[in-house]
Structure formats: C-alpha cells, structure tokens
Structure 1
C-alpha cells in the first residue's frame, strides 16, 4: 500500500469508518456552534465543508439552517452522503488540489484535513484554491492539530479491537511527516494503511498562507476557541480571509 497516496486509498475503505466509528462528535458539534457564533455567518450564506467525509458535519451545519456543500475525494463517502441531500445541502467528489467552480462565503477545512501532500507546493495550492473560491469578505477556517503537542505526547503503539477487527496502530516521525501505521486482518487478508500528516507548526502554516495570499485574522488553541499555546494546546485553528 503506497504511503504517498494514503488518503485516496484509506479514506475510501469501510475499515477507516470502522476504526473511527466511536469518535465523540458532541465536541465537534460544540466547536461548530462556537465557530459559527464567532464568525456570524448569515443563514443565506453558502458554506463549503472541504474534506467532508460521509457528511456528518455538513448535515449538522445544514440542520442549523445554513446552505452547505460538502466536498470529498472519496467516492464511497460521497455516495453515502448524497442520501442526505436536500435543497440546501449537496455533496460532490472533489480533490482539494483542483480549483473550485463557484464562490463561497465560508470554507471550513475541519479536523486535520490538511497537510497530506509530499510536495509543499500542493499544500500551498490547496490554500490558493480556497482563497480564490472565497467571496469578498469570505472566511476560511483551517482546523489543524497542534503538532508540537502531538509529537511530545506521541503514543508509539496501541491496539484497538472494533467489530471483531484488531487494529494494531503505531505512530512515528518520518521526515517531515507524523505517521500513523494501521495494520489488521479482515476478510481473510492482511491490511496495512497509513495516515501521514505534515509536521506544520504555526509559523510554517502562516508562511503557506502568506504565499497563498490569505491573511490570518485569528488563532485559537481548542474547540472552545481559547488562546493558542504552542506547547499545550490540542488544536491549531486558524481563521483567515
């Protein structure tokens, strides 16, 4: 299994959703409530949930009254999400490296859905695409992990058993990436998948944003929008325009 294209392979499997099925989305929904209150979007605004997965967060945003488009690289995830479409909620397959065809009042890139690519220019290109897809005074949100904190608290190995599948998980640093290696046996086969996210601190992401023409307006360190602290914050949440 190629590490280079891990996101296209891993996100499109049912095993990915099995491994993360027990995630508590209450905190994520509270985050969006805090975020939307802070940003003060209008109900008629159009929001893009970029890297939406199966659409759980797009559906939640739409339930709050917003017009939402969810976009994701995974055909299987989008096929699932399309079951929930309505007049103000739509889903489409889209690689974030490809320019968007319409403009949005807000683009939300949530829960560490950035920094996947080997070439830094591809990550910068993603930010350029986001900038170019924003309406005047539009807002972009990049919700990234705080890599400094993640690395200092990295758990090298653990095992999770879910739905009869034993996932053996190892974590390590490889070059400029934080890597999670996931091994398991299912359907009579041995599987190995990877998650690779670039080790990007605040300064590096700000450099990317400057190159993309995005202006950083606010920086937060958790889903309650508390101050960012380099060594202890769980998240690195950037609001830009």
Structure 2
C-alpha cells in the first residue's frame, strides 16, 4: 500500500520548512483558547495532532494538564526536546483511532490538522474520537483553514532560502483539496520532495460531520482575535463547542 503523504511529510525537513512558527505566537493563541474553552485551572486537555508541541507547551504554561498526541516520531522527539521541564505527556497515535481513554476536559485540534484523509467517513472518525474522549460537558476547539479564503487567495508558488537550502512551494486546488508540493534543493544532494493535501471543508461541512458525534458547536471565530467569522474574508475557521450530556 502506498505511503500516505502525512506519513512522509512530517519528518526532519518539516522542522526546517516550518521553523518560523514560534513559541510566542503559540502562547498568545493558547491564551485566547483558554478564554474560549472556559476550563478550570488544572483541567486536562488533549492536543490532538500536537506536532512539535508548541501549543501543548503553551497550554501547559496556562495551567492545564496536557497530553500531546501525534503520529510523527520525529515531531514528538522535537516536542520532548523542547519540553525541558517535562510538563506534557507525549503519546504517539493516529487521530482516527486514538490510543487513549480519557475522559478529557478539553480536546484541541490545531494548525489545520484535519481533513487529511480520503473520505468523509475517515475524517468524521476524528470528530467521533473527540466525542469519545471528552467528558460530558467537556470542551473542544478545532482550528482549521477557511476554505473559501484559501481558494480566493491561493499563492501558486513561492521560494525562499535557508542557508544553502532552497525551499520551493507550489500550491493548487484539486478535486476539493488544497495541495502543496514542497521541494528542498541542496547543493550536491538530490532534491527532496513532499506533498501536503487537505480537504477544503467549510462550516456547513463541519456541521454535517458533527451530526451524531455528541458534539455541539457553540462558537465560530475567524481568527485568534475573536474576529467574527466571514466565509469570504476570514483567514481561519475556528470551531468551539461542547460535548453534550453534562
């Protein structure tokens, strides 16, 4: 069976391509998330698809007990390296079949870590897992791209330099997905190529996928400044809600 793009792309080169994502930005976003989630200090939160752990560590600094889960051993190793005080529990797992029981007071899924899979059934499985893992009355937050904004403002190609390495990124919309091809060129070495592919789900799609999960959507934001969501203008689609049954 062919290797899925997300099994290849989240390795050492990912740390290079996305190293401009900083802890200061993550801390500001975590502070805003804390205000939206309205969880008591010490509440336990699962960061589902935590990557290199920026937001997990920032949420821990906000006073929460945090578990960070990701599929990539490389990114988890970086997260453990950054977690100098051992504030977070790090776990490897697939977001469709999370190897944890919970219950958690909060679950967050950030930085467009959704829509990776081929079918609504597989992507919907992630939401069903969030519902399973949350305690009744628990809170969830999904920070996703705004599909319409991406379609209207897509930058077809870009290039930048990191030391001797040239990073070229090309982007396209294909069959309802936003696709990115990343090529790293280094003198004397073969080019290294990666792909990213995310389903362009909109707000109505999320409402449909949330049906039957036990999750209720309470708020929709267009950015981390609590901007009102606009399908045409917002850069992000941030969903905040509650597991029913409290």
* TM-score normalised according to structure 2 size: 0.91
Quote the RMSD (CA, aligned, Å): 1.9
CA contact (8 A) 2:222 2:230 kept: yes
CA contact (8 A) 1:72 1:93 kept: yes
User: Relative to 1, partners in 2 of residues 1:23 and 1:54: Cα closer, same or farther, differing over 3 Å?
Assistant: closer
Q: Cα distance, 1:185 vs. partner?
A: 2.3
Measure, in 2, the Cα distance between the counterparts of 1:29 and 1:44.
17
Q: Cα distance, 1:30 vs. partner?
A: 1.6
Measure, in 2, the Cα distance between the counterparts of 1:76 and 1:6.
15
User: Relative to 1, partners in 2 of residues 1:36 and 1:124: Cα closer, same or farther, differing over 3 Å?
Assistant: same
Which position in structure 1 is the counterpart of 2:110? 110
Give the gaps of 5 or more residues in structure 1. Answer: none
Structural mapping, 1:73-222, within 5 Å: 73-83=71-81, 84=83, 88-99=87-98, 100-186=100-186, 188-222=189-223
Which position in structure 1 is the counterpart of 2:39? 41
Q: Cα distance, 1:192 vs. partner?
A: 1.4
Which position in structure 2 is the counterpart of 1:29? 27
Measure, in 1, the Cα distance between the counterparts of 2:28 and 2:85.
24
Give the gaps of 5 or more residues in structure 2. Answer: none
Which position in structure 2 is the counterpart of 1:10? 9
**1:230 is paired with a residue of what secondary structure?**
coil
Which position in structure 1 is the counterpart of 2:241? 240
* TM-score normalised according to structure 1 size: 0.93
Count of aligned residue pairs for this structure pair: 239
CA deviation digits over 1:132-183, x for unaligned, max 9?
1001110110100111011100011111111321111111011121001111
Q: Cα distance, 1:86 vs. partner?
A: 5.2
